[in-house]
Amino acid sequence: MTVRTSVVRARWRDIDRVVDLITDTLAPTALGAWLVPDPPCRAGVLAAVARIWTEHALLFGDAFLLQDGTAATVWFHRYRPIPPPVRYEGRLAAACGAHRDRFLLLGRALSARRPAEAHNHLAFLAAPGPHGANRAAASSPAVNGGWTP
């Protein structure tokens, strides 16, 4: 049995919702704790960095939400090289503070493993709570039948 879930393309007005979903998904994970070991600061730092990349994806990719707003995906179209986000170094430093080096290390590790050929890059798959991955996968047009990377 196939269940179809309605997916909508995220717009600039949806950035806050997408960022909240990414933050709520990442904050309780081991990666979130490694990126920002200080629990009281974790959500704020993760949200600020997610905002940088979500805004950038709306310029050089796409973001999608389940129509009920419970899951999101953020993609980059890597058909050609794309520039870093505007004022990235300064924005990252302001967002991360003392945790900046961990985000840079993660970024380098991910970049080193990125395929060289043209592709659609899934940057975030966000769906907090139980069964989150299933809901997030449903918000992916590639999974949901609307788009094939």
Residue-wise pLDDT for 42-66, tens only, equals 999 999 999 999 999 999 999 999 9
Give the pLDDT score at 148. 25
| pTM of this prediction exceeds 0.85 | no
Give the pLDDT score at 118. 93
Contacts 24+ apart (CB under 8 A), 37-45: 37/99, 38/99, 41/97, 41/99, 45/95, 45/96, 45/97, 45/99
Task: Look at residue 135 and tell me whether its pLDDT is greater than 50.
Answer: no
Give the pLDDT score at 25. 96
Closest-CA residue to 77 (of 2, 7, 147, 138): 147
Phi, psi of 54 (to 5 degrees): -70, -45
Provide the token pair at 143.
Answer: 């999974």
